[in-house]
Chains A and B, each alone.
Chain A
Amino acid sequence: MFGYYFDLARRSLIRSPILTAMMVLAIGLGIGASMTMLTVLHVMSGDPIPEHSGQLYYPHLDARPLSSKDDKNAPDPSANLSWIDASNLLRAHQGDRQAAMAGGSVLVRPAQTSLRPFFETGHYITADFFPMFDVPFRTGGGWTQVQDEQHERVVVLNGDLARKLFGDTSATGKIVRLQDTDFRVIGVLNDWYPQPAFYGDTSGHAFGKTDEFFLPLTTAMDLKFDSNGNMSCWGSGGDQRTSGECTWLQFWVSLDGPTKVHAYQQFLEDYWRQQQAHGRFARPVDAKLYGLLAWLDHMQLVPGDVRLQLWLALGFLAVCMVNIVGLLLAKFLRRSGEVSVRRALGARRRDIFLQFGVESAVIGVAGGLLGLGIAQLGLWSVRHRPDDYAHLAQMDVSMLLGTLVLAIVASVLAGLLPAWRACRITPALQLKTQ
């Protein structure tokens, strides 16, 4: 039966090529625009490390005084931890693994004279970072907690920087000069650029190749390396880096299973109360433990412009849908005679309904294919934008299939009302007036 309806649909669509082309164009444009923006949203809110995101958690404490107000235009100070709190959580060692970190930018002074000194961004981290995030090494490895405590001058390079400095030769064991200090390269990463760079301060740059080196946080503190994330202070005086009144560090903990998560949550609340007893943490106890994806959601990585564009595209799709409903209505009602004959010959209402449903779906498939092309064009233009997420704008298989499914669903939905009207045509009346 479907084959027959499909053939009917094909004949009917070919009979009025202009109307068919209009409908396919309308659905193609609507689907193309929507899928372009949905794909951008999809790649921006993807899971950066699918194998481990279930075990990674971000503790959220708020050491600010009551007087500090939230500012919509500034990054949230309570998203980060102060040095004192980060050190306390590290020392408490209540998770399976835990690491504190901060982004930074240093001047790399290459040994070879052909390269001028240049700035590179990276992260200052503690030892558990590498095993906790299962960071892939090409050669060498990370460092130990003992080396952290000894403030050793070691560094792990990411793929691009290692290639830039040492070409194809192995970088491990070589010396790199950062600012005015020599560091020993103990490992090279296998081009590890998770998108977004979830572990760092995502209020700034979260996409693109953000980190080319990793060195011990303690060493960076020693050498007074600049951090480049958001630093928010509310007290005054003293060294901002070691103060309990300046937040600038990110902290991650891995917890295996709900019991450990619950225990850690409990630990955070106890910690809050204990700090209150010491005269810190003026606010009522409200310790939170975010899962990785919940944390990224909380940080709102998708810029306002992208969300605005998505809403525009969906609004556009809505206009296209209304348009197709009108065109299908015209198309189906024009065939009242044909419907009457079929009904008089014994076709039931549901047969007519199905026939027109199939016809709508055929338009949907054609529109979906056109929409796929338009979406590829749209993504190509997104990739040429200057934004840091631009290079991510690629369709994967799920979005590819999603495009076709959305097109078919949209066109069948648009066909419902016209098909319903068509199947209510009274055969006798129509045949009489013919």
Chain B
Amino acid sequence: MQIQPVLAALRRHRLATILIAMEIALACAVLCNACFLIASRIQMTHVDSGVDESFLATIKLTGYDEAKASDLNARVTSGLREIPGMQSVSVINEVPFGETAGNAGITLDSAGQKFAGVVDFYVAGPGNFEALGLQLISGRAPRADDFQPMKAFLPSSANVIVSRSLAEHLWPDTDPLGKEFWCGDFHFRVTGVVAHLARPSAGEGGPGTIEWSVFTPAQPGANLSGVYLLRADPAQLPRVLRDARAAIAKLAPDAVVEQQASQTIGDLRQVYFRQDRIMAGMLLGVIVALLLVTALGIVGLASFWVQQRRRQIGIRRAIGATRGDILRYFQTENFLIVTSGIALGMLLAYALNLLLMTQYELPRLPLYYLPAGALILWGLGQLAVLGPALRAAAVPPVVATWSG
């Protein structure tokens, strides 16, 4: 296929050519960035919480007298353990995807000078480490003597277990076991590292901080009460949670169940990422509509050109061009226009990404999105031009002899 005559013909339709190329360029810019936004949203919803989500549920109580918190803990934990199918009940301050309770800034020195970021403290009574199903990768699980009494919202000195992500942030390339850190007057020593443990509210300080969690063993009491972690077989979990909620009315008539916070972890996760899923769906809708409209434009202009050139097509057929030649002519023409649009579109996509990066916390657009977007648009262009090009190929040579 010779490109020369195609270019010569396009030069005579400069305006229309530029319009299609511009449309492709705009579509390329929006397409690449929208796909990237979808991918980053979906990646966010796939975060590994590090816990056995399908086995876990939580119950949150409020409104009880703080002075009777220890008594409440005892009543609730022993009462709920009676429920058939319940594997364990433990006292904790927060659960993944629930409400945040233990966010605090930490330092790597006791004087409070070397600020190391805002982390999340899971303050947990005995049984939680096993119930959560945390996967230990070095060090040891909490021992009975690790559970210290609470002083305000944390124990004053504790042996803690951190996530791998936090360990790598605090002590890159060194063994975290035995290392220390502080939060005001509170002191911590690392005795174990787990593979994953997502904080309840992901994303403060950016997506990179989602696993900055510290598992802090502590004794339940006045400052650690009201939130309970239930573990049961996934098949029985909904029923067990229902029974547990019903049992609370008898076990703790003085307390109020916070309905929205008392769910299975799976349901909490669903609610937590609902916004992101909606946004991803809406972006997908925009992409589909965008491709549709772009295809409409190509079909419209290509049809116009075919109609306008009927006579020339007839002449070409009459002097020996095959149907395939005509078909390929329009396909080549479309390919050239789309390619020039894509070239401009890649620059636009990059510029749009830079703009989005200043407005929203987005990473840089990975380069492989550009060829991927180009492939989609080439495909779309060829698909859209196929109809008009087939009609052009069907023009009989006899048209050449018609006048007008």
Give CA–CA (A84, B278) in the complex, Å: 44
* Chain B residues whose CB sits within 8 angstroms of the CB of A326 once the complex forms: 16, 19-20, 23, 297, 300-301
**B contact patch SS:** helix
- The one of B16, B26, B258, B294 in contact with A315, judged by C-beta atoms closer than 8 angstroms, is B26
Give CA–CA (A313, B286) in the complex, Å: 8
* Chain B residues whose CB sits within 8 angstroms of the CB of A417 once the complex forms: 15
| Beta-carbon nearest neighbor of B256 in chain A | A117
- The one of B275, B278, B286, B303 in contact with A33, judged by C-beta atoms closer than 8 angstroms, is B286
- B16 touching A305 by the CB < 8 A rule? no
- A119 touching B34 by the CB < 8 A rule? no
- A330 touching B300 by the CB < 8 A rule? yes
- B304 touches A (CB below 8 Å): yes
- Least Cβ distance of A273 to chain B in Å? 33
- A319 touching B26 by the CB < 8 A rule? yes
- A334 touching B283 by the CB < 8 A rule? no
- B22 touches A (CB below 8 Å): yes
Contact with A along B371-384 (1 / 0, CB 8 A): 00000000000000
- A316 touching B204 by the CB < 8 A rule? no
Question: Could you tell me which residues of chain A, from 293 to 339, have a CB within 8 Å of some CB in chain B?
Answer: 304-305, 307-309, 312-313, 315-316, 318-320, 322-323, 325-327, 329-331, 333-334
Question: Could you tell me which residues of chain A, from 11 to 41, have a CB within 8 Å of some CB in chain B?
Answer: 19, 22-23, 25-26, 29-30, 33
Residues of A in contact (CB 8 Å), total 42
- B275 touching A305 by the CB < 8 A rule? yes
The CB with the most chain A CB atoms within 10 A, among B258, B275, B304, is that of: B304
- A116 touches B (CB below 8 Å): yes
- B293 touching A30 by the CB < 8 A rule? yes
- B296 touching A22 by the CB < 8 A rule? yes
* Chain B residues whose CB sits within 8 angstroms of the CB of A322 once the complex forms: 19, 22-23, 26, 297
Known interface pairs A312-B30, A330-B304. Does A323 touch B62 (Cβ–Cβ under 8 Å)?
no
- B63 touches A (CB below 8 Å): yes
- A169 touches B (CB below 8 Å): no
- A398 touches B (CB below 8 Å): no
Known interface pairs A322-B22, A326-B16. Does A119 touch B293 (Cβ–Cβ under 8 Å)?
no
- B2 touches A (CB below 8 Å): no
- A118 touching B256 by the CB < 8 A rule? yes
* Chain A residues whose CB sits within 8 angstroms of the CB of B402 once the complex forms: none
Contact with A along B218-235 (1 / 0, CB 8 A): 000000000000000000
- Least Cβ distance of A300 to chain B in Å? 12
- B289 touches A (CB below 8 Å): yes
Known interface pairs A119-B62, A319-B23, A322-B23. Does A304 touch B293 (Cβ–Cβ under 8 Å)?
no
Give CA–CA (A51, B283) in the complex, Å: 39
- A114 touches B (CB below 8 Å): no
- A386 touches B (CB below 8 Å): yes
- B294 touching A323 by the CB < 8 A rule? yes
Contact with A along B286-327 (1 / 0, CB 8 A): 100110111011011101110110000000000000000000
Give CA–CA (A305, B299) in the complex, Å: 34
- B131 touches A (CB below 8 Å): no
The CB with the most chain A CB atoms within 10 A, among B20, B23, B283, is that of: B23
| Beta-carbon nearest neighbor of A26 in chain B | B293
- B359 touches A (CB below 8 Å): yes
- B347 touches A (CB below 8 Å): no
* Chain B residues whose CB sits within 8 angstroms of the CB of A262 once the complex forms: none
Give CA–CA (A183, B81) in the complex, Å: 39
* Chain B residues whose CB sits within 8 angstroms of the CB of A19 once the complex forms: 300, 303
- Least Cβ distance of B101 to chain A in Å? 14
| Beta-carbon nearest neighbor of A315 in chain B | B30
* Chain B residues whose CB sits within 8 angstroms of the CB of A73 once the complex forms: 204-206
* Chain A residues whose CB sits within 8 angstroms of the CB of B356 once the complex forms: 308
- Least Cβ distance of B364 to chain A in Å? 17
* Chain B residues whose CB sits within 8 angstroms of the CB of A305 once the complex forms: 275, 279
- The one of A26, A117, A386 in contact with B297, judged by C-beta atoms closer than 8 angstroms, is A26
- A134 touches B (CB below 8 Å): no
| Beta-carbon nearest neighbor of B403 in chain A | A434
- Least Cβ distance of A424 to chain B in Å? 12
Give CA–CA (A323, B19) in the complex, Å: 7
Known interface pairs A19-B300, A26-B296. Does A319 touch B30 (Cβ–Cβ under 8 Å)?
yes
- A149 touches B (CB below 8 Å): no
- B308 touching A334 by the CB < 8 A rule? yes
Give CA–CA (A323, B16) in the complex, Å: 10
Give CA–CA (A318, B26) in the complex, Å: 8
* Chain B residues whose CB sits within 8 angstroms of the CB of A330 once the complex forms: 16, 300-301, 303-305
- B172 touches A (CB below 8 Å): no
Give CA–CA (A307, B19) in the complex, Å: 28
- Least Cβ distance of B68 to chain A in Å? 13
- Least Cβ distance of A170 to chain B in Å? 27
- Least Cβ distance of B264 to chain A in Å? 18
* Chain A residues whose CB sits within 8 angstroms of the CB of B307 once the complex forms: 334
> Chain B interface (Cβ within 8 Å of chain A)?
15-16, 19-20, 22-23, 26-27, 29-30, 34, 37, 62-63, 204-206, 256, 258, 271, 274-275, 278-279, 282-283, 286, 289-290, 292-294, 296-297, 299-301, 303-305, 307-308, 356, 359-360, 404
List 3 tightest A-B contacts by C-beta distance, closest first. Answer: A330-B304, A323-B297, A326-B19
Q: List 27 A-B contacts (CB under 8 A).
A: A19-B303, A22-B300, A29-B293, A73-B206, A107-B63, A117-B63, A119-B256, A307-B359, A308-B359, A316-B286, A316-B290, A316-B293, A319-B290, A319-B294, A323-B294, A323-B296, A327-B297, A329-B19, A329-B301, A330-B300, A330-B304, A333-B308, A334-B307, A334-B308, A385-B275, A385-B278, A386-B275
